[in-house]
Chain A
Amino acid sequence: MPLEKKYIAVIGIIIILVIGGGIAYWYMTAPKKVTIVVEYGQPWQYLVENLTLAKFKEEAKKLGYDVEVTLRMIPYGVDIVQTISQDLAQGVAGDVLVIDSFMIPEYAEAGYLLDLTSYVEEWDGWAAYPEAMKKIVTYENKVYGIMIDTDVRMLWYRKDIFQLAGLPADWQPTTWEDIIEAALTLANNSDTIKDQLNITEFYPIYFPAGTKWGEATTMQGFYMLLLGADKDPYNRLYDYSENKWVGKSKALLRAFQFYYDIYVEHKIAPEEYNFVTDVWSKHREAFAKGWVAIDIGGSWEWDEGWGPNGIYPIPNREEKVGYAKMPGYAGGAESERPFVTISGGWAVAINAAIKPELKPLAWLFVKILASKENVAKFCARYGKIAPRTDAAEVPEYAENEYLQSVLEYLNFTDFRDAMPGYSKVSFYIQQATEKIVTEGWTAEQALDWYYDQLVAEFGEDNVITYPLP
């Protein structure tokens, strides 16, 4: 019967197509040679692509591998921490990852990162890292990453604008009051400043706030206030003697109060910059164009933000841009720290889900990426501080005047309370500052709200309150 034959033929063709398609798909996606995937944010593009890639391929070839490196770059404007967290959770992250070091405890606890303890023990480079840098990447006595850069934070200010307002070009505030006074002086002279710089908008001071900034709100803005807002150890988010999160404290209240003062009370800070599509770009642009005179930010901005190869280069940078240490609340008069800074930094790590046969290659990549030369050259170019002490042996790094001047900040620097759960606490801080900025909440309201969030998240037993003034 011809008809039935036709059916059979049609069904046969369909089956052949499906199976053929499946095989073709498998063939096309199956690796033909060894491939490792490197995932990193665009700020590390130079380190990964220019400094590491070629060397790695060469070394791998010596070991007899025909290796292809797939580069997965997360561009500016896309949140790197969010992207990598999502990728790790869903099993599609790269083999080698450049991650923000504060996420290491969370990732490690979730089992996302390969334990590198045995690797670093046999690595000669490990000795070059000071204890503090080893501590950041260690969680429960296991090493999960290797630091590739670190940083400090400071007040940035525009010398030229300060002079227009009759303020000294060489500025070093010693209390929070000093900062607000300088900002108010700038505000009083804003018409002159706008005229002279030929700009239409001018805000004296900018502290990042809100969730759009993500971790930067907590790190650049809030921690810089908190650490100097009260004496140790009452100036933290976490109480290490009780092992509890701090729900209420004088330091928290004062830090929120500072946000309230500049954004609500005096209205001298640009609320809307916190909510534009690309907050980083906006903040760099605003400072470069003189829309903002006092900015708080990381040491990398000198080069990455405003250097000749930076994103928004400032001509005559040395004459126009100044930086000052962030003072404590009353400059130490209440036995708090006289000056404050905080260090974060990024680390390179290996995905726990990596194929076993790729482990040696991934480790090779990590070793080359974190080598003395590469770290030093990268840090020198982008104004970051090298976590390896032997970076000073590399001329590019040692001869960088700016970096040498920033190194003194390391004497009084501190680190985040990067415990599991920190990313949530940080998120609540961001939300609380957002409520102050957008809804005009007082510091007390923000603090109460923050306390409620912590209790809801960790339970009342795990939250401690210090007496308020």
Chain B
Amino acid sequence: MSTSRALSYNFSKKIKNVLRSERALAYLFLLPTLIMIFAFVIIPAIWGLWVSFTPLSLVGKYAMKYDFIGLKNYIKLISDADFYNSIKISFIFTILSALIGQAFLGLMLALVMREKAIKGKSIVAITVFLAWIIPEVVAGYMWGVFASREGMMNTLLALLGMPPRNWLYDLPLETIIIANIWRGTAFSMILFMAALEGIPHYIYEAAEIDGASWWQRFRYIILPMMAYVILVDFILITIWTFNVFTMIFVMTGGGPGNATELWTIFVYRRAFQPPYEVGYASAAANLMFLIVFLIILSYIYVSKKLRWYG
């Protein structure tokens, strides 16, 4: 009787001790999160790796068949001109719309927003902001219509004397790049505005009194102080833009032909549209994820430096 009571007392004491021990508690708190992420992200990722070694398809002979075929999908992939095309499109899209378009426009806007004397700038900021916060499908729908032959883009350009054209057909890649600048500039703008606020005004004013020109102030004060923020912005928008799917899918579906087939759309089309080659699409997805992963690693490295700076 008493021994069992003592035992149970010891047992509950042990539990208490385990609970009190910080590491156990930390793991306990983290457990649900880890389970969720493991079950719905890690396992699917491994499953996807497995699928890429099978000829799995949605219909026909290989419907739902997990036969091991080794590296066949990957070998087919590296000789697939359409796959290279999608990588090329993705890179052009990312470099022009994110690195050049969004970051540059965002920086310009952030600089102008700093000027106290300029009126009406907050209305502009809110419009830029709106483009970023509306659901992506809506943005895709708006731009699909906006850039069509009958669309308003032609109405505006007619004021400049340009003849109407179907932008999504004649210049599809250029059009989705511009659409994505429209969509994503807000993030860079907000980030740069926050970073600029971090630069003490007195430095700025002192430079002005010293007679530094606008360019000199930008070149020697703003740019160096913002260098890391700009770098982080570059990496983040690169990753996001590289992963863009919905807006372009809604606008063009990857067409005409495969002129706007970003790698994400390439994967989606191979898997969920004829010929439904799920295994092959998985192989493409995995290869591309490797590229994204390398960029993410550089981000982790740089952002740590940034924290150390800050």
List B contacts of A112 (CB < 8 A). Answer: 59, 63
Please, which residues of chain A bring their CB within 8 A of the CB of B272?
A: 82, 86
**For chain B residues 109-162, which have a beta carbon within 8 Å of chain A?**
144, 148-149
Q: Which B residues touch A82, using CB under 8 A?
A: 272-274
Indicate with 1 or 0, residue by residue over B240-278, a CB within 8 angstroms of chain A CB atoms. Answer: 000000000000110111010000000000001111100
Q: How many residues of B contact A (CB 8 A)?
A: 25
How would you classify the secondary structure of chain A's contact residues: helix, strand, loop or mixed?
Answer: helix
Q: Is the CB of B273 within 8 A of A423?
A: no
Given A272-B166, A421-B60, A423-B59, A277 contacting B144 (CB threshold 8 A): yes
Q: Known contacts being A210-B257, A212-B255, A272-B169, is A423 close to B274, with CB within 8 Å?
A: yes
CB of B63 within 8 A of CB of A110, answer yes
Taking a contact as CB atoms closer than 8 A, the residue among B61, B148, B170 that contacts A109 in the complex is: B61
Contact of B49 with A by CB under 8 A: no
CB of B45 within 8 Å of the partner chain: no
Taking a contact as CB atoms closer than 8 A, the residue among A111, A272, A456 that contacts B63 in the complex is A111
The answer for the CA separation of A283 and B64 in the assembled complex, in Å, is 36
A89-B63, A110-B63, A214-B274 as given contacts; A275 in contact with B255, CB under 8 Å = yes
B128 to chain A, nearest CB (A): 27
CB pair B274–A427 under 8 Å, yes or no, is: yes
Check if A106 is an interface residue, CB within 8 A of chain B. Answer: yes
Task: Mark out the residues of chain A between 345 and 366 whose CB falls within 8 Å of any chain B CB in the assembled complex.
Answer: none
B76 at the interface (CB under 8 A from A): yes
A275-B256, A277-B144, A438-B259 known; A424-B273 Cβ under 8 A: no
**Closest Cβ neighbor of B150 among chain A residues:** A200
Q: How far is B58's CA from A278's CA once the two chains are assembled, in angstroms?
A: 24
CB distance from B37 to the nearest CB of A (A): 20
B274 touches A424 (CB 8 A): yes
Are B253 and A103 interface neighbours, CB within 8 A?
Answer: no
What residues on A are CB-neighbors of B256 within 8 Å? Answer: 210, 212, 271-272, 274-275, 434, 438
Complexed CA–CA distance, A84 and B253 (Å): 19
Please give me the residue from chain B that is nearest to A87 by CB atom: B58
Which residues of chain A come closer than 8 Å to B166, judged between CB atoms? Answer: 272
Of B148, B166, B274, chain A has the most CB atoms within 10 Å of the CB of B274
- Interface positions, chain A 103-118, Cβ under 8 Å from B, are 103, 106-107, 109-112
Q: By the criterion CB–CB under 8 Å, are B275 and A427 in contact? A: yes
A252 interface contact, C-beta 8 A: no
* Contacts A420-B60, A423-B59 given; does A210 touch B255 at CB 8 Å: yes
Contacts of B59 in A (CB 8 A): 85, 88-89, 103, 106-107, 110, 112, 423
Q: Which residues of A contact B61 (CB under 8 A)?
A: 109-110, 420-421
Contact of A275 with B169 in the complex, beta carbons under 8 Å:
yes
* CB proximity to B under 8 Å, residues A411-452: 420-421, 423-424, 426-427, 434-435, 437-439
Q: Decide yes or no: A423 and B64 within 8 Å by CB, A210-B255, A275-B256 being known contacts.
A: no
* Chain B, range 37-74, C-beta contacts under 8 Å to A: 58-61, 63-64
B170, chain A: closest CB distance, angstroms? 8
Within 8 A of B (CB), among A79-132: 79, 81-82, 85-86, 88-90, 103, 106-107, 109-112
Query: What's the minimum C-beta distance from A404 to chain B, rounded to whole angstroms?
Result: 36
Please measure, in the bound complex, the distance between the C-alpha atom of A78 and the C-alpha atom of B255, giving whole angstroms: 16
Which residue in chain A gives the minimum CB-CB distance to B172?
Answer: A275
Is the beta-carbon distance between B60 and A110 smaller than 8 angstroms? yes
> CA–CA, A110 to B255, complex, Å?
30
In the bound complex, how far is the Cα of B253 from the Cα of A231, in angstroms? 38
- A126 and B275 CA atoms in complex are apart in Å by 33
Given the complex of chains A and B, what is the CA–CA distance between A111 and B252 in angstroms? 34
Whole-angstrom CA separation of A420 from B62 in the bound complex: 11
A426 partner residues in chain B, CB cutoff 8 A: 274
Contacting residues, chain A, for B257 (C-beta < 8 A): 210, 275, 434-435, 437-439
Question: Which residues of B lie under 8 Å from residue A79 when comparing CB positions?
Answer: 273
Q: Give the docked Cα–Cα distance between A277 and B61 (Å).
A: 31
Interface centre among A214, A277, A420, A439 (most CB of B within 10 A): A277
CB of B268, distance to nearest CB on chain A (Å): 11
**What residues of B have a CB within 8 angstroms of the CB of A211 in the complex?**
255, 273-274
What string of 1s and 0s marks CB contacts (under 8 Å) between A193-219 and chain B? 000000001000000001110100000
Report chain A residues within 8 Å CB of B144.
277
Q: How far, in Å, is A25 (CB) from chain B's closest CB?
A: 18
> How distant is A97 from chain B, measured CB to nearest CB, in Å?
13
B168, B255, B275: the one contacting A423 at CB < 8 Å is B275
User: Chain B contacts of A212 at CB under 8 A?
Assistant: 253, 255-256
Chain B residues closer than 8 Å to A435, beta-carbon distance = 257
What residues of chain A lie closer than 8 Å to B169, measured between beta carbons? 271-272, 275
Query: In whole angstroms, what is the CA distance A90 to B63 when docked?
Result: 10
| Separation of A276 and B150 alpha carbons in the complex (Å) | 12
Residues of A within 8 A of B168 (CB): 275
Please tell me which one of the listed residues B64, B149, B259 contacts residue A89 in the complex, with CB atoms under 8 A apart: B64
A127-170 interface with B by 8 A CB criterion: none
- CB 8 Å contact bits of B162-179 with A (1 = contact, 0 = none): 000010111000000000
Instruction: Give Cα A212–Cα B169 distance, bound, in whole angstroms.
Output: 13
| Smallest CB separation, B53 vs chain A (Å) | 18
**Residues of chain A from 244 to 279 with CB closer than 8 A to chain B in the complex:** 271-272, 274-277
- Residues from chain B with a CB closer than 8 A to the CB of A88 are 58-59
Of all chain B residues, the one with the shortest Cβ separation from A274 is B256
Contacts of B170 in A (CB 8 A): 272
A and B contact pairs by CB, cutoff 8 A, 15 listed: A86-B58, A86-B272, A88-B59, A89-B58, A90-B58, A211-B273, A212-B253, A271-B256, A272-B166, A275-B256, A420-B60, A420-B61, A421-B61, A423-B60, A435-B257
Besides A85-B276, A110-B59, 14 new A-B residue pairs in contact (Cβ under 8 A), listed by A number: A81-B274, A82-B274, A86-B272, A110-B63, A111-B63, A210-B256, A211-B273, A271-B169, A275-B252, A275-B255, A276-B148, A421-B61, A426-B274, A438-B259
Closest CB pairs A-B (n = 3): A110-B63, A275-B256, A89-B58
